[in-house]
């Protein structure tokens, strides 16, 4: 792309440029977003000038709660504003939000979405923001380049001026980490003299700087974080009560002479959105005796249950509802359990359990018992 080749009205060489359907810019909340978008618009204009700039934001984790969806939409429209500001005639701007109904544990999943998008729209290349990150995680440029190179997609890193100025979200994350670290230090050690407090503050600051892009999956949002914390005040006693109740049942089962257990293994697709809520869900399953999370793939959990009663709680979404109320508020409870949704399938179960499930299915719908 030499700067001398500007004559856009001349129908010039057909090479790799004329079949350009456009370029893709992965959007992320970075300080260099504006420059990257402008560079992308520039690239298209220097080509045949008729391609489109696709601004794509991968934003998984909105399975049902719509938590943070408006933030993503704001980010995307900001990027669009930058692009339309820079674009001349002929360059069209398209935006899209991908993966909103999925949960990804791995940044590579984000890149695969981008690869699919490029293939689907037959785009010419990907222009990467050097500060691109999957929301609050550390920069992942290298693994993104690997994925793109493996898929034979052309990409270039936008030549933008980079600064070491922390961005707003980084400051928020760093501040939250510093406050938590300092609070923990004071609670644990109870220092009273100034020297200990000062060194504690310095340590908290260092922790914040080091972990600002590691500790959070998404930048915490004061409003929703406070709401979750407030609901946690109800959730924790509820969970403790469930644990106590289930422990009594467990003690009964273990101490019963005939050991009445009927272990089963089920795959459950949890209707929760991000790493924190999946973790809370998986751990509350494990904490309640009778059920145990064996493995997780994204939001899919493999749950081992000791007895039919524990399995029934799981199927009816007892834990799931509690966790959904915790993270999404009261309306989060209006969802049928995993079994009723069809998000639960047995992996290993005994013949007795199959017979039991068949019988109850017959009782409910008139029978489609398949062994």
Partner 1 sequence: MTLLTAVIVLFVALGVFFTLVAAVGVLRLPDVYTRSHAATKADTLGAGFTIVAVGIYFGTTGEILRTILLLVFIYITNPTAAHSITRAAYSQDIEVWTTDENDTTAEHGGDSP
CA distance 281 to 125: 40
Which one among 73, 262, 300, 316 touches partner 1, defined by CB under 8 A? 262
State the first-to-last Cα distance of the chain, in angstroms, to the nearest integer.
64
364 phi and psi angles, rounded to 5 deg = -85, -50
The answer to whether residues 273 and 279 touch, using CB atoms and an 8 Å cutoff, is no
Nearest approach, Cβ of residue 355 and partner 1 (Å):
11
Residue 33 makes contact with partner 1 by CB under 8 A = no
Residue 243 makes contact with partner 1 by CB under 8 A = yes
Residue 306 makes contact with partner 1 by CB under 8 A = yes
Residue 292 makes contact with partner 1 by CB under 8 A = yes
Residue with tokens 């489109």: 52
Residue 263 makes contact with partner 1 by CB under 8 A = yes
User: What is the Cα 310 distance to its own chain's centre?
Assistant: 29
Tell me the window of 72-80, 100-108, 298-306, 316-324 that interacts with partner 1 (CB under 8 A): 298-306
143 phi and psi angles, rounded to 5 deg = -70, -30
Binders of partner 1 in range 180-239 (CB under 8 A):
187-188, 190
Residue 282 makes contact with partner 1 by CB under 8 A = yes
Residue 265 makes contact with partner 1 by CB under 8 A = yes
CA distance 354 to 335: 25
Helix (H) / strand (E) element for 112: namely helix 107-121
The answer to whether residues 40 and 125 touch, using CB atoms and an 8 Å cutoff, is no
CA distance 193 to 71: 43
Residue number with CB closer to partner 1 (162 or 245): 245
Residue number with CB closer to partner 1 (96 or 349): 349
How many residues belong to the site for partner 1 (CB under 8 A)? Answer: 37
Interacting residue ranges for partner 1, rule: CB under 8 A: 187-188, 190, 240, 243-244, 247, 250-251, 254-255, 259, 261-265, 282-283, 286-290, 292-295, 302, 304, 306, 348-353
């Amino acid at each position: 792309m030499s700067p001398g080749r500007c004559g856009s009205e001349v129908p010039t060489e057909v090479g790799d440029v004329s079949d350009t359907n456009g370029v893709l810019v992965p959007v992320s909340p970075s300080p260099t977003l504006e420059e990257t978008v402008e560079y992308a618009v520039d690239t298209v204009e220097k080509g045949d000038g008729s391609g489109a700039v696709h601004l794509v934001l991968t934003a998984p984790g909105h399975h049902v709660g719509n938590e943070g969806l408006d933030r993503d939409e704001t980010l995307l429209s900001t990027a669009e504003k930058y692009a339309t500001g820079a674009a001349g005639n002929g360059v069209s701007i398209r935006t899209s939000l991908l993966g909103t109904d999925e949960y990804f544990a791995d940044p590579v999943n984000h890149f695969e979405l981008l690869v699919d998008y490029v293939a689907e729209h037959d785009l010419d290349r990907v222009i990467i923001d050097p500060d691109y990150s999957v929301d609050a995680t550390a920069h992942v440029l290298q693994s993104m380049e690997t994925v793109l190179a493996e898929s034979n997609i052309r990409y270039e890193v936008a030549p933008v001026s980079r600064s070491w100025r922390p961005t707003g979200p980084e400051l928020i994350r760093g501040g939250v980490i510093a406050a938590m670290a300092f609070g923990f230090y004071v609670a644990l050690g109870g220092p009273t003299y100034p020297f200990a407090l000062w060194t504690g503050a310095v340590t908290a600051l260092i922790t914040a700087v080091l972990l600002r892009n590691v500790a959070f999956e998404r930048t915490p949002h004061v409003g929703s974080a406070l709401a979750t914390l407030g609901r946690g005040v109800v959730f924790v006693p509820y969970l403790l009560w469930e644990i106590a109740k289930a422990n009594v049942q467990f003690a009964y089962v273990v101490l019963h002479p005939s050991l009445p257990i009927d272990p089963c293994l089920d795959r459950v697709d949890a209707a929760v959105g991000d790493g924190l809520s999946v973790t809370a869900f998986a751990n509350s399953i494990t904490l309640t005796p009778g059920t145990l999370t064996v493995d997780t793939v994204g939001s899919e959990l493999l749950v081992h249950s000791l007895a039919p009663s524990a399995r029934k709680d799981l199927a009816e979404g007892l834990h799931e509802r509690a966790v959904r109320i915790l993270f999404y508020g009261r309306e989060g409870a209006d969802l049928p359990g995993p079994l009723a949704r069809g998000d639960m399938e047995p992996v290993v179960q005994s013949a007795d359990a199959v017979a039991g499930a068949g019988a109850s299915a017959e009782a409910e719908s008139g029978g489609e018992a398949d062994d």
